[in-house]
Structure 1
Amino acid sequence: MEDYFETFRLNVKFYREQKKMSQSQLAIGADCTNGLIGQIEAGTTKPSFDRIVNIAAALQVHPADLFLRNASTTVSDTKSIIRKELIPQIEEFVERRL
């Protein structure tokens, strides 16, 4: 089974660095201590669900993106493809067959 915590901690660091935030800035935004962010990124502690949501909000990403990078974008892209390509094809098929 995949180690979701390992992915989570690496994604927290990835998004924090992408936003050019220090651990202290992220801690302030997530309403926790700088030490906790450091421990999460080092893999020595696991945050609660509420803390995960706060960290995601501070990083301005969907919480799912912390477990699967760009997960929310992927879902959005999939929905867009369905709306733009598949639905018109289905409608055309229905019109021809009925």
Structure 2
Amino acid sequence: MGLKQIFIANLRKIRRAAGLSQMQLAFHCNTAPSYIGEIEIGRRFPSIEMIEKIAAALQVQPQLLFADQPRAPRRTTPRDFSFLPETLKKDLLKRVTAATQKVLQKY
């Protein structure tokens, strides 16, 4: 497997292990989700600057993206949901609260 293919496989694996969608990763890298998708299917390859942004967003060292067998990063900080609109956050909180209350009523 070539270095480009290793990078692509590692990017996808590490992004998923970090619990980020392509859209979330793109948001953190200040780029378009379609660009991240094109990287992951091998149509485009990022610049050094973008590789640094991707690594920072995934909270890994950039060289880990080129390692033959990367370790999945351990999430040490809570996920950042600041990219979600406030209305969606409120709706999600309302639904989670209702579901929790429903479960608690059974016990």
Q: TM-score when scaled to structure 2?
A: 0.62
Q: Which residue of 2 aligns with 1:63?
A: 62
Q: Percent identity?
A: 38
Q: Which residue of 2 aligns with 1:9?
A: 8
Q: Distance in 1 between matches of 2:57 and 2:26?
A: 8
Moved over 4 A (4+): none
Residue 32 of structure 1 deviates from its aligned partner by: 1.1
Residue 31 of structure 1 deviates from its aligned partner by: 1.4
Q: TM-score when scaled to structure 1?
A: 0.67
Question: Which runs of no fewer than 5 residues in structure 2 stay unpaired?
Answer: 72-107
Q: Deviations over 1:8-36 (max 9, x none)?
A: 01111001100111000000111111011
Q: Distance in 2 between matches of 1:36 and 1:12?
A: 13
Residue-pair matches, total: 69
Amino acid at match of 2:14: Y
SS across alignment from 1:46: coil
Q: Which residue of 1 aligns with 2:42?
A: 43
Q: Deviations over 1:43-84 (max 9, x none)?
A: 1101100000000000000000000024xxxxxxxxxxxxxx
Q: Which structure carries more helix by proportion?
A: 1
Amino acid at match of 2:2: D
Q: Distance in 1 between matches of 2:66 and 2:25?
A: 18
Q: Which residue of 1 aligns with 2:22?
A: 23
Amino acid at match of 1:15: I
Flag the structure with larger Rg. Answer: 1
